[in-house]
Amino acid sequence: MKKLAILLTFIVAGCGSIFNGSSQDMSFDSNVKGVEIYLNGMKACKTPCVYPLDRSSSSVVISAKKKGYEEQQQIIKSNLSSVAILNLTFWPSWLTDVATGGMWRYNRDGIYIDMEKNNVKQAELATIKRDVAIRRFALLGYGDLKLEASTGHAGNYIQALAELSGKDTEHLIREINASASEVTLAHRLTGVK
């Protein structure tokens, strides 16, 4: 009887549900603290925060709001989890993944939002846009930047970041190696504390 119960557990449990769970922790941060984060119109948290986002096949619209700042929006897309693809060979457990959402994975685990003040002067706007470009580059290219920095050599990614930021490659290599995450690197490169 015990063996049958164990066997049934494995048959019914989906790989995606076991390995991924039915939610994905999503971290939110911003250049201004205390920004309200809305997910598909529902208030979720204030930055900095981590929110357990239920897995789904649908994309999620993120809105960031704070008084005195322009509202910002981003979209998180949902993709089929690689673990759930393996589960297609055994349909009973695949159905479990469909029911629990365990077969889906959002394309990012963290979102960094650059809030822009209302009525910003042109000079400030140019600096803000440059910082946004640097942060975006650091967040999206973090894995490649970290890999290049670990060799101590400035490859294409570090050279592109040097050109974008106006900082020398040796300084960037030190900053990248000292950063534990893409958000930390984005903060370090643009002076956000």
pLDDT bucket at 3, cuts 50 / 70 / 90: low
Edge to edge, the sheet with strand 110-113 lists 49-54, 23-30, 110-113
Domain boundary assignment for the chain: 2-113, 122-190
pLDDT tens by residue, 65-98: 999 899 999 988 876 665 555 555 555 555 555 5
Contact call for residues 66 and 56 (beta carbons, < 8 A): no
Question: Is a pLDDT exceeding 80 seen at residue 155?
Answer: yes
How many Å apart are CA 188 and CA 175, to the nearest integer? 7
Radius of gyration of the chain (CA): 21
Sign, CA dihedral 58-62-28-107, equals: positive
Across the chain, mean pLDDT equals 80
pLDDT at 50: 92
- Could you tell me the two tokens for 82? 């690689």
pLDDT tens by residue, 108-132: 788 899 998 887 677 777 888 889 8
Based on DSSP, count helices (H) and strands (E) in the chain, helices before strands: 9, 9
pLDDT bucket at 12, cuts 50 / 70 / 90: very low
pTM: 0.52
Q: Which residue has the higher pLDDT, 169 or 82?
A: 169
pLDDT tens by residue, 140-151: 899 999 999 999
